[in-house]
């Protein structure tokens, strides 16, 4: 029996040693994250507070109103004004005819979380530490474990978001829809400047999908999920509690109610739809009506929603005072249309990051304008603050630029370059200028190699590295310079 005792002792010591080593590794990792990679430090929080306190109050009689409508996974080619022949979007088509449409507009990431952080902060995703992954639905314990592993699951509190700056200047700020920038206390919409919130904290394929009003669960999701989540052999299930078939309708009602409550003061409304992200739940009132199938039904529901918001602004006499912006958080998923572009969601090809952008502001933005100026959702932060007469934060890099001249006078793009950040990773994967795009790697297993495209003549089908070696070399050097910059100062502090 001696050998059995020795074996048992060996196994016990091995297991105990392994567990102890794992605990030590986690503690060291946690300490490293806390002391060296912790996103919020006292000096940055103080600088943020000082900036917000310094902002002047806007003139309530003349300050513009803002409505930003964000669709989830809407592809570049999903609207009829963008060429779709199965899905009909007359309200969005009318909005384009009455305003401006940009054909070279991008999300800052090919997935949800980092793109939304970029839109609201004016900064590339690496600045806000949202580049590691798409945030998951989880409670405080799971969020803490992820943080110990170096994968934070919430937006750092020292980031300055658009609603915080506008609220400090006297705006009423409201959000309706999908947040996806953190679900634990201290990192929800009301914690980042939204005075009113109604919606869900993450994507509609994550569990549980509770419906919040401010910080309180108004409708609890009680869906019984199969091991495949929302999906079974018959397709997506209809949840109990939160009926996703009616979410677009409810969001629209809440958005209009916010406008009505604040009609006499400047406001920011951020309407971040859950759709057309999978799973698809068409409104039963219109289900089966689109030639584009269930996906088309959902997109046409979004079109009706946008029309209702525009009609409310007109009914309340606010149309000429209100800038309305419509875009998407990234390119098309499997069922969406990239509109002839190469790639889809999760890819840094054009189809994964180029998205529709419609702007309407009667009397301020000319009707029927199509702009080919390149721009990105990071530009909304400086543009809206500029229109409100507010300065940018001085303590951090703001990667976006003001698009006012592009929208109002047809000016050329203020960008010389735009960088494409991948789904996971702190380094940019590609860069483009007014004509060429350089992709560091195509990501096609053993065939992966640098790729140069002429975006004026081709949609990334042909590799022109050998045809234009000087352009490839120039853009590779630019990409390397940006990579070193974000490695040395990822958060972009000044």
User: What CATH number does the domain containing 312 carry?
Assistant: 3.40.720.10
Do 212 and 299 belong to one domain? yes
Do 236 and 343 belong to one domain? yes
Two structure tokens written together for 114: 């980092």
In this structure, the strands spanning 267-272 and 322-328 are: unpaired
pTM of the entire predicted model: 0.91
Q: Is residue 17 part of a domain?
A: no
Residue pair 289/299 in contact (Cβ under 8 Å)? The answer is no
Do 483 and 371 belong to one domain? no
Residue pair 296/290 in contact (Cβ under 8 Å)? The answer is yes
Question: Exposed, middle or buried, 423 (CB in 10 Å: 0-12/13-18/19+)?
Answer: buried
Do 451 and 405 belong to one domain? no
- Catalytic residue, chosen from 44, 88, 131, 180, is 180
Q: What per-residue confidence (pLDDT) applies to 442?
A: 85
Do 348 and 458 belong to one domain? no
Q: Is residue 94 part of a domain?
A: yes
Q: How many domains does the chain have?
A: 2
Listed residues 390, 416, 442: the one ending a domain = 416
Residue pair 346/352 in contact (Cβ under 8 Å)? The answer is yes
Q: Is residue 41 part of a domain?
A: no
Query: Maximum Cα–Cα distance for the chain, whole Å?
Result: 93
Q: Helix, strand or coil for residue 280?
A: coil
Instruction: Let me know if 112 is a catalytic residue.
Output: yes
* Rounded distance between C-alpha atoms, residue 273 and residue 73, angstroms: 10
Q: Is residue 289 part of a domain?
A: yes
Q: Is residue 170 part of a domain?
A: yes
Do 368 and 445 belong to one domain? no
Q: Helix, strand or coil for residue 236?
A: strand
- Catalytic residue, chosen from 44, 88, 112, 451, is 112
Q: What per-residue confidence (pLDDT) applies to 83?
A: 97
Two structure tokens written together for 445: 């297993």
- Tell me the residue length of the chain: 494
Listed residues 416, 442, 466: the one ending a domain = 416
Do 308 and 443 belong to one domain? no
Q: Is residue 372 part of a domain?
A: yes
* Rounded distance between C-alpha atoms, residue 283 and residue 285, angstroms: 5
Instruction: Let me know if 415 is a catalytic residue.
Output: no
Do 410 and 472 belong to one domain? no
N- to C-terminal Cα distance for the chain? 68
Mean pLDDT by groups of 10 residues along the chain of 494 residues: 69 72 63 52 94 98 98 98 98 98 98 97 96 79 67 90 98 98 94 98 92 96 55 49 93 98 98 97 96 98 98 98 98 96 97 98 96 98 98 98 97 98 92 97 82 97 97 98 96 96
Do 442 and 306 belong to one domain? no
Do 118 and 231 belong to one domain? yes
How big is the chain by its Cα radius of gyration, in Å? 24
Q: What per-residue confidence (pLDDT) applies to 471?
A: 98
Give me the residue label for tokens 């091991």. Answer: 227
Q: What per-residue confidence (pLDDT) applies to 226?
A: 41
Q: Is residue 83 part of a domain?
A: yes
Do 311 and 439 belong to one domain? no
Q: What per-residue confidence (pLDDT) applies to 36?
A: 44
Could you tell me the residue range of the domain that residue 136 belongs to? Answer: 64-416
* Rounded distance between C-alpha atoms, residue 222 and residue 239, angstroms: 7
* Rounded distance between C-alpha atoms, residue 401 and residue 413, angstroms: 9
Do 244 and 337 belong to one domain? yes
- Which residues lie across from 216 on neighbouring strands? 213
Listed residues 389, 416, 443: the one ending a domain = 416
Residue pair 266/321 in contact (Cβ under 8 Å)? The answer is no
Q: Is residue 275 part of a domain?
A: yes
């Amino acid at each position: 029996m001696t050998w059995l005792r020795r074996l048992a002792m060996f196994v016990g010591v091995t297991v105990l040693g392994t567990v102890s080593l794992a605990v030590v590794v986690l503690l060291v990792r946690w300490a490293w994250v806390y002391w060296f990679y912790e996103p919020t430090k006292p000096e940055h929080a103080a600088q943020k507070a000082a900036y917000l306190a310094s902002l002047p109050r806007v003139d309530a009689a003349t300050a513009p109103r803002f409505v930003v409508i964000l669709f989830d996974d809407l592809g570049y080619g999903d609207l009829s004004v963008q060429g779709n022949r199965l899905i009909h979007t007359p309200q969005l088509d009318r909005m384009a005819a009455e305003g401006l449409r940009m054909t070279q507009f991008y999300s800052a990431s090919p997935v949800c979380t980092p793109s939304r952080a970029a839109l609201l902060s004016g900064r590339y995703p690496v600045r806000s530490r949202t580049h590691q992954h798409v945030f998951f639905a989880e409670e405080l314990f799971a969020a803490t474990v992820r943080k110990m592993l170096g994968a934070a699951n919430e937006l750092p509190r020292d980031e300055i978001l658009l609603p915080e700056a506008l609220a400090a200047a006297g705006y009423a700020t409201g959000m309706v829809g999908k947040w996806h920038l953190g679900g634990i206390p201290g990192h929800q919409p009301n914690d980042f400047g939204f005075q009113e919130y109604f919606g869900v904290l993450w994507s509609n394929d994550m569990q549980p999908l509770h419906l919040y009003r401010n910080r309180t669960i108004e409708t609890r999701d009680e869906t019984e999920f199969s091991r495949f989540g929302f999906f079974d052999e018959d397709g997506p299930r209809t949840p109990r509690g939160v009926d996703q078939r009616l979410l677009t309708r409810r969001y629209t009602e809440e958005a209009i109610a916010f406008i009505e409550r604040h009609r006499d003061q400047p406001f920011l409304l951020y309407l971040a739809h859950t759709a057309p992200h999978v799973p698809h739940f068409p409104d039963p009132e219109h289900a089966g009506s689109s030639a584009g199938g269930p996906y088309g039904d959902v997109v046409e529901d979004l079109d009706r929603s946008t029309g209702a918001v525009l009609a409310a602004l007109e009914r309340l006499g606010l149309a000429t005072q209100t800038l309305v912006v419509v875009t998407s958080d990234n390119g098309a998923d499997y069922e969406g249309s990239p509109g002839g572009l190469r790639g889809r969601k999760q890819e840094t090809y054009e189809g994964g990051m180029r998205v529709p952008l419609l702007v309407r502001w009667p009397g301020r933005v000319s009707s029927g304008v199509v702009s080919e100026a390149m721009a990105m959702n990071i530009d909304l932060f400086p543009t809206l603050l500029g229109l409100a007469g507010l300065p940018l934060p001085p303590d951090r890099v703001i990667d976006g630029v003001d698009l006012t001249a592009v929208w109002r006078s047809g000016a050329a793009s203020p960008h010389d370059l735009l960088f494409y950040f991948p789904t996971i990773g702190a380094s940019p994967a590609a860069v483009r200028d007014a004509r060429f795009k350089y992709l560091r790697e195509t990501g096609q297993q053993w065939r992966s190699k640098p790729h140069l495209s002429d975006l004026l003549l081709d949609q990334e089908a042909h590799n022109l590295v050998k045809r234009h070696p000087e352009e490839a070399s120039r853009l590779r050097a630019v990409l390397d310079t940006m990579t070193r910059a974000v490695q040395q100062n990822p958060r972009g502090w000044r």
